[in-house]
Amino acid sequence: MRGNQNLPSSSKWMYEFADQNPYVGHPNPLKEGQELFRRGLLSEAVLALEAEILKNPDNVEGWRLLGITHAENDDDGQVRRDITQDCFLGRAPKYP
């Protein structure tokens, strides 16, 4: 969980990455996640966006889109953790 190394130690704020992620190692997981989201494949989009964040933990767009995807997928717990990560990075999240 490299993207969480600087978050407060409370596990309720830690983002929980998937154990098995076929998008880790993908050349452009953010673009893939955006395309999957556009096509309505939300669970797959989450995996691609998680791979992006593991690759680039400070990518605000990756965190923002991951939060939106979790919200669309009704995963409120993960949305809170996404917003916490955005805010911890010193950026206000911009949700549509």
Q: Does 50 map to a domain?
A: yes
Cα angle 25, 28, 32 (rounded to 5 degrees) comes to 105
Q: Does 67 map to a domain?
A: yes
Q: Does 68 map to a domain?
A: yes
Structural domain of 57: 40-91
For residue 71, what pLDDT is reported? 83
Q: Does 15 map to a domain?
A: no
Q: Does 19 map to a domain?
A: no
Q: Does 28 map to a domain?
A: no
Q: Does 71 map to a domain?
A: yes
pTM of the model: 0.69
Q: Does 47 map to a domain?
A: yes
Please give the tally of structural domains in the chain. Answer: 1
For residue 7, what pLDDT is reported? 44
Query: Which pLDDT tens digits describe the chain residue by residue (96 residues)?
Result: 444 444 444 455 577 888 999 999 999 999 999 999 999 999 999 999 999 999 998 898 998 899 889 888 776 555 555 555 555 555 544 444
For residue 90, what pLDDT is reported? 52
